[in-house]
Amino acid sequence: MDNVIENNEMQGTKHSTLGMLSYSTGFYVNEFIQGVLIFLLFYFYEVEIGLATWMTGLGMVIYGIWDAVNDPLLGFVSDKPTRLTKRWGRRFPWIVIGFVPTLISFLLIFYPPNVNPQEQPWIIFAWFTITLCIFDTCETIFTNNYYALYPDKYRTNKERTKVSAFSIYMGILGVVFANLLPPSLIEFGNKSTYITMAWICITINFFVLFLMIPGVRDDKESTQQFIENFKQKEKESLTEVFRFVFKHKSLFAFLFFYMLYLSLTTMVQSSFLYWIRFIIYGNADDVLYVMILLLIGVMVGIPLWMLYNKKTGNNRRTMIMASIALIVLTVFFTILTTYAGLLILAFIWGMGFGGFWMIYYVVYGDIIDEAIAETGVRREGLYSGLRRFFGTLSTVIQAISFTIVHELTGFVETSNVQSPSAQTGILLLFGIIPAVLMAIGFIIFLRFYDITPEKSKIIKEKLAHLKV
């Protein structure tokens, strides 16, 4: 069996480095677009537009419910062949179809009607909710199939590791643009600067599409094998597939933990704007310098965590250590009182964030391999949809948390000065609350995730035997 795996590894290194780089540019697009929304969305509608906190939160909850429906459903649909599959591939048509509408709907989010939010709040609320749901649908079509292509196209450890390395740094580049471009363009209290920022974002990403196309084409042999296997296999209902997912301990534990990890990152990243504007009464330029140090920390941390993971050879252990670092460091945001302290902590926190970001892609690949080994069926589209679904739930958790805390502490949407109780709420949302949420997910992950290096080897042997 070891010889089979070795031969597969040798035969499987068939994709060019340029092709891998082309594929990895999709990580840049996703991290860029999602990063801007995580950074600005709640703040933009609550503070800049002046929509009531509870209405902003409600809109994001509706968006999350919509995402709960369309993510796994579109993933399930995209796992089936269409009229375009034989000629254009399994994933490529979906990726191209979803990309441009994603950019257009992203732009529309920052173009709310020019009406008074106190007199006609429901018009703004409707625009906010509908454009978000349109964006989510288009982005789901793109990202579900983009991420599902990775384990199907790159099937050897050698190629996966190389693509993952490229993707991590492309993702970092996307995060750099998402965190540095907005604060360098926007002005507090000037809504038109947000529209300019949105136009620049979609223009940059439109040109990236042409760099990405060569790398996101399906392999012809994989497409043909998929069509033949689909004809032969017994058809499954969506209910049956979901039943398997929720019985799969490692997958469910990972998705639950992933949701609460993203809850932490979205709450922390969103809180930078609130902290700068309402704790130290700074301006958007102050946010820019914080983001620069955070991203330097990420870039310093990733290679260090990669060396640690290579030395231990244990993905589970690396995930545990990175998680503990991120949770503990996040708590300190609640006790910050100075801008200098924020700059230092942002750098250190970035190092912990980089470690978790690096390892969770690897762990996710291990889990998908285990699911395929157990069923003999490749369902990457559905799994990608489920991962997006749990990821979007983190946005709902952020919205509910911000809504409840802001309402209870007396945050005033249209005021430039907040009360001491509102400032306390901002600090809690910056540190303790997201840290507690991720700690809950971490406990679940420790309890149910059981893929050790030894088990991973057994899974790969089974995959080699199944030839799926």
At 303-312, the pLDDT tens digits run 898 888 888 8
How far is Cα 197 from Cα 186, in angstroms, rounded to an integer?
A: 7
**Residues composing the chain:** 468
Q: What is the mean pLDDT of the chain?
A: 83
Q: What is the pLDDT of residue 311?
A: 87
- Range of lowest pLDDT (304-313, 343-352, 372-381): 372-381
Q: What is the pLDDT of residue 362?
A: 77
Q: Which sequence spans correspond to the domains of the chain?
A: 20-466
* 114 has a pLDDT exceeding 80: yes
Q: What is the rounded radius of gyration, in angstroms, for the C-alpha atoms of the chain?
A: 22
* Other beta carbons within 10 Å of 315: 21
* 90 has a pLDDT exceeding 50: yes
Q: 454 or 421, which is more confident?
A: 421
Matching residue, tokens 């068939």 = 14
Listed in sequence order, the residues at least 6 apart from 419 whose beta carbon sits closer than 8 Å to its beta carbon are 409, 410, 412
Backbone angles phi, psi at 428, to 5 degrees: -65, -40
Residue 427: pLDDT band with limits 50, 70, 90:
very high
* 207 has a pLDDT exceeding 60: yes
3 state SS of 187: strand
Q: 443 or 337, which is more confident?
A: 443
Q: 83 or 413, which is more confident?
A: 413
How far is Cα 136 from Cα 399, in angstroms, rounded to an integer?
A: 16
How far is C-alpha 22 from the geometric centre of its chain's CA atoms? 20
pTM for the structure as a whole: 0.76
How far is Cα 412 from Cα 417, in angstroms, rounded to an integer?
A: 8
Q: 108 or 160, which is more confident?
A: 108
State whether CATH 1.20.1250.20 applies to domain 20-466.
Answer: yes
**Cross-strand partners of 187:** 190
Q: What is the pLDDT of residue 275?
A: 93
DSSP structural state of residue 46 = I
Q: What is the dihedral of CA 94, 99, 101, 106, to 10 degrees?
A: 140
Q: Give which of 241, 449, 423 is closest to 359, Cα–Cα.
A: 449
* 330 has a pLDDT exceeding 90: yes
Q: Which two tokens stand for residue 32?
A: 């860029």
Q: What value does the mean pLDDT take over residues 47-53?
A: 91
* 196 has a pLDDT exceeding 80: yes
Q: What is the pLDDT of residue 386?
A: 74
Q: Give which of 359, 352, 355 is closest to 313, Cα–Cα.
A: 359
* 467 has a pLDDT exceeding 70: no
Q: What is the pLDDT of residue 135?
A: 93
How far is Cα 159 from Cα 299, in angstroms, rounded to an integer?
A: 22
